[in-house]
Structures are given as C-alpha cells and as structure tokens.
A and B are shown apart, each in its own frame.
Chain A
Amino acid sequence: MSSSKNDPVSAWAAWDRFWFAPRSTDRMAMIRGLLCLVAAAYFATCWADAAFWYGGGGPFSAERVATFLRTAGLEGAAAWIVSPLFLFKSAWLYHLYLAVSIGVAGLVACGRGGRLAPWALWLLLVGWANRAMILAGLTESLLSLGLFASAIAPPGSLWAIRSKPPRSTSQWTAGFSQRLLATQVSVVLIATAATMLAGRVWFNGLGAYALAAPSPDRTIDWTNTILLHPLVHESLTHLMIVSLPIGLLMCWIERTNRLGKTILLLWCLIVALLGSLWLYAATMAVMVMAIDPIQKMNQQVDRASAK
C-alpha cells in the first residue's frame, strides 16, 4: 500500500537503509586509496618549509605560539587545538613525522595495516593540521573529513576493485563510510555555493576572474588571457555557480549520476586551474566520487534480500 511510504516506520527503514546497507568494500578502498595519495602529496608539500615554521625560533615554533596566544588573549580558544607536535622543538622531528605520515598513507593505499592504519593516518593529519593553526587552509579540513569517513570502511587496496576474479565483499561499515563521505561532500558543496552567493562577484560575472586575479599568487596567470574577455569570465562565473547545485542534485539521481559527477569534476578542474587550489580540488574530486544515487543502494539491498 502506498501510504506505508509515508509512515514513520517506513521513514526509519529508509533512513536505516540509506546509512547501514552493506556496500562493496573495494569501492571504498579505491576512494580511500586516492585520498591517501592526496594526503601523501600534502605531507610532501609540507617538507620544504616545516623547519622554517616550526623549527627553533621559527614563526610557529612552540614557544612563539605560546607567546602569540598569550598576547592575542586566545589561550582559552586554543585549548582544543591538540597536537603531539606541540611537544617537539627540533626540525628533524617534524621531518620524521612527515616521513612516517607519507609511509602510513602509502600503507593504507596498499591495503596494509589493518583497520588501525587508516585511523592512524587520520590522526597524523589532524595532528599536523592542528599544529599548523592559521597556516592550515581548507585542504586540511577536507582531507580530515575524507580520511575520517573512509577510515570506517574495512581495509583494502587502491587497485582491489580491478582484481580478477573480483574478491569484493559487502559490509555495512563500507556502506556507512561511503554514505558519510557522500553526505559530507554534499554539505560542503552546498555551503560553498551558499557562501559564494554572499559575494557580489558571483552575481555580476566577475567571480571566475576574482579567483584568478591575484596573479602573483597563482601558478598559472590567466589575467591577460582569453579570461579577460567579459563573455568568457562572465559565462564561466555563471556556469560555476549554477553547476554546483545542479551537478550535486544530479549525482544523487540514478539516471544522471555520471553526468552530475562529470559536472562536479569539471568544476573542481576549473577551480584548480583558476585559483591554483590544487590539493583542495583533488580532495573534493575524490570525495565527489563517493556519491552514489539513493536508488542504486536500495536496489543492491533488494537484490541481497531477495537472495
């Protein structure tokens, strides 16, 4: 009877199915493996300037941070910024931390280290990001969200999905992990669109140009290229702002899932190219791959139940 779809029991069942239906462990292993590669790249980029920031006498050395927080009156607010790195003073220990982190990222990508390694990797990233304080950007937050959600899934290697014959199993932790990753990236993308619209550049057509405008801070200087033409940057601005909600909506619908993902991946590519937000865009792109339409999961459960 159709009325059963509206009663609280069926709503709970739909919720239950959304979050706790079993999913392929290999799929999440692949997504987590890709996140590990981005995390390894992130840690590698920290190598060059770690000694400058955190070494003895550096702008963010432990003693300077303490003085800075005291002067700024932020001691209370900083009470929750927890990191083991605040105990380290020598630059080589920071390099050792980075080397271990890259190693753990590699292990997790290869499916080694059991269930503990992905959690260790997440903790290593949080420890580093919290230590970086104001030096940390959005990449660190996205990576933390991604690694946290993917650590819930059972271990597996990045390339397990391509193994023949397939060895995939379905587990509810893989399903919960994938749904958490997908809902997180959806929330972030909705918030991104909403906050973009709070600035007038995303209405008057200058948004894409504003992203590229600080050219000395960009890897590729687009300011004296075709982007200067109003038709180009205004079209790009409107496309960027429209493609976010539409692409996201399409991702959650079975028929349009692939097209939606393609739109969002293109959005990530444009953001990376214009704003030089390379690691941010890479993390976002990997997280977008976790969005599976609601119907697809229902069908999987239905098939499993029918067996």
Chain B
Amino acid sequence: MSAKKRKQASRGRGRHPASSETRAGDDHADLSTPTGGTGPTPAVRTGLSIWAVFHLFALFVSFVSVVEPSSLQVQFLSLVDPYLTLGHFGADDRPVYLAHGNVSEQPHRLQISLDEITQIDQIDRCEWTTIGAGDYEASAALPGGAVSDRVARWVAVAATLAESEQPGVVAELLLPIARHFPKAKAIRIVRFPTDLSDVTATEESPYVARIVRSQDTLSLIQLTPKRLSSRAIDEVDGPTS
C-alpha cells in the first residue's frame, strides 16, 4: 500500500472509528437496545418487511401508471385499488409528470350566458361571464392558488368527459351552477390556447349547452356541431324504371 493510500485509510478510520472497528462482524448487530426501547420481535419485523415491499411496489405502480399503463399494470392496480384508495396513497391518474404540454393542461374556464342559444355557431354572438368557486366569481381566487386549482381541475375533468361523449355525466357536474344562476340560458366550458399551442389555435369550447328550465326540472342540452352525412347512392338516384 502506498503512503498516500495509507494516509487516506487512516483518515477514513479517524472519521468513523466505531464503524471501522465493528463493521466486519456486525452483520448481526443487536438492534434491540441501543439507546432506548426494544426493537420489534422477529415476527413483527417480517410482517413489516413484507408490508413495506408491498406498499412501495403498489405506490410505484400507481405513480408510473399515469402514462399509458399496460394491461398488467391495470390488473395489478385493480387488485390494490382498495388499499391505495382507502389511504389516499395512489396517484390516481393525476399528473405526476408535472407537464407534458397536453390540451388538458391548458387553462379551462366555465362560463354562463344570459343570451338564448339554439345553435352552436351562435356562441360568438353571446356575452359570456366566467364562473369561479367561493362566491361564484372567478376573480375572487388567486391564480395558481388552491381554490383556483380545484376549479381548474373540476372544469378540465368536465371538458375531458364532454370530449369522451358523456354529456349526461358533464351535466351532473354542471347542473348546480345552472341552478345557482336562474337567469342563465347557456353554459359552456372554454379552453384557452397557451404559447405552446399551434399559432393558429384560438379558444375552443369542448362543451356548450342550452339551459332548459321548466317548473320543477332543469336540464342541460348539449349543442354539438352538425355532422356531415351522406345517403346511399341508389337513394339519391331514385328508383330506375
């Protein structure tokens, strides 16, 4: 051993005298009574070890499954879902990745209008008011604060559901707002572009609905763009004689 290495070794021993003396034979170090209390019994240690492995593995799978999970991951998560949900441990499809530049990360707002609307192409003619939480005024919440985060999450989920063609579920989420504003005649979710959006991108409305009120019922009728349709050629041509 060179003088330099010997010096380094002795310096290392000087820093951790106890460890250098006992590490070689301390693999079975008695952990029971170092400075206070007794350690757990072997049975408890085994039980806790198994639980820790399970817990950390379930946690890992839950957190990485927010991005396109495999069928194996989905099966495993369905097994451990009660455990993760009961303790609120799981990621549950929340954006663990912070940002991916997806449309779901764009600012979403909920707006109502007092103007009558029957066709989706009329939305630009209406005057829209943005709705927030708390006192129902969007401006009341600090941007990026917990309150506006919850509103953003709520509206973004409703937009996703609307785009998955589940208008009934969206209506369930938004009906309380329609009820709170008795003069409102239309409601919509508007999504604003960000600097990362396409240069031609403008604000879009993933959900627009007419509010229909009768004496004791309230319903939201989603307005969708007219879809192109075609008829069978033989029908167009008419019967041949």
Contacts and interface: CB of A to CB of B under 8 A. Distances in A.
Interface of A: 4-5, 9-10, 13-17, 19-22, 42, 45-46, 48-49, 52-53, 57-59, 61, 64, 67-68, 71-72, 77, 80-82, 125-126, 129-130, 132, 134-138, 140-141, 144-145, 148, 169-173, 176, 180, 183-184, 187-188, 190-192, 194-196, 198-202, 206-207, 209-211, 213-220, 223, 271, 275-279, 295, 298-307
Contacts of A132: 150
A128 to B, nearest CB: 9
Contact of B173 (A13, A52, A59, A302): A59
Interface string B37-53: 11110000100110010
Given A196-B98, A302-B23, A13 B28 contact: yes
Q: Which interface residue of B38, B133, B177 has the most chain A CB atoms within 10 A?
A: B133
Nearest to B180: A57
A302 B22 contact: yes
Grouping DSSP codes into helix (H, G, I), strand (E, B) and loop, the A interface class, with mixed when no group exceeds half, is: helix
23 contacts: A19-B45, A21-B34, A22-B31, A22-B35, A59-B173, A126-B87, A132-B150, A141-B89, A141-B91, A144-B88, A187-B59, A188-B96, A202-B97, A211-B98, A215-B107, A215-B194, A216-B192, A219-B144, A275-B98, A277-B98, A279-B146, A302-B19, A305-B26
A190 B88 contact: no
Grouping DSSP codes into helix (H, G, I), strand (E, B) and loop, the B interface class, with mixed when no group exceeds half, is: loop
A172 B145 contact: no
B144 A218 contact: yes
B119 interface: no
A207 B151 CA distance: 24
B169 interface: yes
Nearest to B42: A16
Contact of A176 (B16, B48, B149): B48
Given A49-B150, A58-B176, A129-B88, 8 more contacts: A5-B27, A49-B141, A64-B176, A68-B172, A137-B149, A184-B56, A213-B195, A302-B19
Given A71-B169, A172-B39, A301 B100 contact: no
A55 to B, nearest CB: 10
A19 B48 contact: yes
Nearest to A219: B144
Contacts of A42: 146
Contacts of A14: 27
Contact of A190 (B23, B52, B60, B166): B60
Contact of B36 (A5, A169, A302): A169
Q: Which interface residue of B36, B146, B147, B177 has the most chain A CB atoms within 10 A?
A: B146
Interface residues of B, number: 86
Interface string B11-28: 000001011011100111
Contact of B154 (A134, A138, A300, A301): A134
B169 A72 contact: yes
Contact of B37 (A22, A183, A298): A22
Interface stretch (B62-70, B181-189, B219-227): B62-70
Contacts of A276: 143-145, 149
